[in-house]
Amino acid sequence: MKNPTLVRKYTGGLVAALADEAEYRRVLGEIEMFAGLVRDRDDLRRSLANPFLGLRRRMAIVSGVLESAGAHDKTLRLILLLAEHGRLDILPDIAAAAPGEWNERHNVSTLEVSSVVPVTEAQKRRLESALERLEGRPVRLRYRIDRELIGGLSLRKGNVVYDVSVAGDLARLKERITEGQ
């Protein structure tokens, strides 16, 4: 993350301005779309980074791209604000931080689930249901594959890790054996 303080500031402002889940999803999708265009289109990236291109011209390019895509007014305002202050480089970080900020503001716990193989839909439903009972509030789960796990799952909520994997069991066993000597 390039500048965590700025990312938190802009992400918090964005999320606070969004009215509902539908608007959140639309605006986030448009932000990701624009960040992808800047990443994938050399001509656009070079134009926006060109120090000899005036601010008014840079703003016109950004505005033209977003308006032609039919972007929401809140998407347009955020990206133009970033362009005006020379901070378009933090847009991907804002897009990455927005789901966590949205969930926190709406009292939803976000957990990352790591497994060695993909989790089936039935397993996902059971896990989500069990975690909602434990958390006492809705949860959003993000899944990822971790080839270093031998079996089982590893759950991460912020800085807290719940390790119910075989690798975690072996590490705890090793720790107990080492402490006993």
Q: Could you tell me which residues come within 8 angstroms of residue 140 by beta carbon, excluding any fewer than 6 positions away?
A: 99, 103, 108, 109, 110, 111
The pLDDT score that the predictor gives to residue 84 is 93
The pLDDT score that the predictor gives to residue 166 is 67
> For residue 49, which of 1, 91, 86, 10 has the smallest C-alpha distance?
86
d(CA 164, CA 50): 50
d(CA 134, CA 143): 19
The pLDDT score that the predictor gives to residue 135 is 87
The predicted model scores a pTM of: 0.70
Residues of the chain with pLDDT under 50: none
Domains and CATH numbers, the chain: 4-103 (1.10.520.20), 109-180 (no CATH)
pLDDT in tens, 115-139: 888 999 999 999 999 999 988 889 8
